[in-house]
Amino acid sequence: MLTLFVSLSLSLRPRSRLLWWVKRGLLVVCVIYVSVPFMMRLFPDIIKHLVYSHRVSVPFFVNLSQPADLYLNHTVNMYLKSEQGISLGVWHTVPESQWKEAQGKDLEWYQDSLGAGIPIIIYLHGNGGTRAASHRVGLIHVLSAIGCHVLALDYRGFGDSTGEPTEVGLTTDTLYLYQWVKARSGSSLVVLWGHSLGTGDASSILHSLKRMKSRLLILHAEDDHIVPIHMAQQLYEIAQSAQNSENQVKMIPFAGSLGYHHNGLYKDPHLPGIIREFVHTLAP
C-alpha cells in the first residue's frame, strides 16, 4: 500500500499537489478501514506480531541473563516453568539498599529474601520488547530505590521465554508468577504493577482472584499516544463502581506538557513519593 502512494506522488504535477494530498488523506482512511479486518483474516500471524511485537528484541545485544550489564547489580535472572514446555525469563531485584549484600548471592538467598516483610512488586510489562527495555529498567531502578523487591517477567514468546503469546497464556504466566511469589512472600505485601498490555493482564488477574481485597492506583500521562487518557478515565470509572468506594481507586494524571507519552512516567520526580504513599496505605 505504501509503495503505491509513493509512486503516485512521483507521477503528479506540482499544481495538483494539494488535491493529491486531500485525496491521499481520504484514501488512507479508506485503506485503514478496509484492510485491517481483511488483513486479520488473511494474516493472523502478522497481526499477532503487530499486537504483541513479542519477537522484537529491544534493546539489541543485551544478554538477559546478565542484568548487571544494565546497572542492575542487585538482580538475579531465573527461569520459571509456568506450564509444560513453557520457560519464563524473570528478574528478581532486591531493594537497592541491599545491593552490597546481594553480590555473589545465589537463587536461594534471593528467594528467602522475599519473606522478610518488605513490599514486593510484580512488574507486568506492556507490548513489545523485553524486560531489558530502557523504560522498564528505569522503573525497576525507581521501585527498588524506594525499598521494594521487583519481579519482572517476560511472558511466553517474549525475550528469552519460550512459547508463543496468547491472551490465555499471558494470564497463565502472570498468575503463575503471582502464586510463585505468594508461596514465598510470607507476610510481605504483594503489589501488581501493570503497564499497557500488562494493565489488561493485571485486571484479568483481579478478575480471577475475586476474593482478593484490592486497591487500584491508575497513573496515566495525558499525552499518551498509544492508550489515550479517556481510556484510563473509563477504567477508573468502571473500577470505582465495581469497588463501591471512592477510597479504593485513585487516578493520577500527568500533564501532557511533561512529555511522558506512553513510556516516560518512570522519570517523574514525584513518582517515588506517589508509590511510597500508595504502598503505605496498603500495608496491613
State the Cα–Cα distance between residues 8 and 3, nearest whole angstrom: 9
The residue within the footprint of ligand NAG, chosen from 20, 94, 96, 132 (CB under 6 A), is 96
Note whether 134 binds ligand NAG by CB under 6 A: no
80 in Cβ contact with 160 (< 8 Å) = no
Let me know if 206 is exposed, middle or buried by CB neighbors in 10 A (0-12, 13-18, 19+).
Answer: middle
* Least spacing, CB of residue 39 vs ligand NAG, in Å: 34
Q: Which is nearer to ligand NAG, 62 or 177 (CB)?
A: 62
State the Cα–Cα distance between residues 98 and 271, nearest whole angstrom: 21
Note whether 65 binds ligand NAG by CB under 6 A: yes
Q: Which is nearer to ligand NAG, 100 or 280 (CB)?
A: 100
68 in Cβ contact with 185 (< 8 Å) = no
Note whether 233 binds ligand NAG by CB under 6 A: no
133 in Cβ contact with 58 (< 8 Å) = yes
Q: Which is nearer to ligand NAG, 62 or 227 (CB)?
A: 62
Note whether 71 binds ligand NAG by CB under 6 A: yes
The residue within the footprint of ligand NAG, chosen from 53, 57, 99, 223 (CB under 6 A), is 99
**Is 224 considered catalytic here?**
yes
The residue within the footprint of ligand NAG, chosen from 63, 134, 234, 281 (CB under 6 A), is 63
Q: Which stretch binds ligand NAG (CB under 6 A): 40-48, 60-68, 86-94, 208-216?
A: 60-68
Q: Which stretch binds ligand NAG (CB under 6 A): 61-69, 124-132, 190-198, 245-253?
A: 61-69
**Is 7 considered catalytic here?**
no
State the Cα–Cα distance between residues 132 and 70, nearest whole angstrom: 8
DSSP, collapsed to helix, strand or coil, labels residue 78 as: strand
41 in Cβ contact with 55 (< 8 Å) = no
Q: At a CB cut-off of 8 Å and minimum separation 6, what does 210 contact?
A: none
Q: CA angle at residue 238 from 236 to 244, to 5 degrees?
A: 95
57, 87, 196, 214: which one is catalytic? 196
* Least spacing, CB of residue 258 vs ligand NAG, in Å: 24
Q: Which is nearer to ligand NAG, 98 or 127 (CB)?
A: 98
Q: Which is nearer to ligand NAG, 69 or 83 (CB)?
A: 69
Please spell the DSSP secondary structure of 82-139, one letter per residue: EETTEEEEEEEE--GGGHHHHTT--HHHHHHHTTSS--EEEEE--SSS-TTSHHHHHH
Note whether 66 binds ligand NAG by CB under 6 A: yes
Q: What is the CA radius of gyration of the chain?
A: 22
* Least spacing, CB of residue 68 vs ligand NAG, in Å: 8
Note whether 73 binds ligand NAG by CB under 6 A: yes
* Least spacing, CB of residue 269 vs ligand NAG, in Å: 18
Cβ–Cβ contacts within 10 Å for residue 194, how many? 20
Let me know if 233 is exposed, middle or buried by CB neighbors in 10 A (0-12, 13-18, 19+).
Answer: middle
Q: Which stretch binds ligand NAG (CB under 6 A): 44-52, 59-67, 162-170, 215-223?
A: 59-67
Positions marked catalytic = 196, 224, 262
Give residues in contact with ligand NAG (CB under 6 A): 63, 65-66, 71, 73, 96, 99
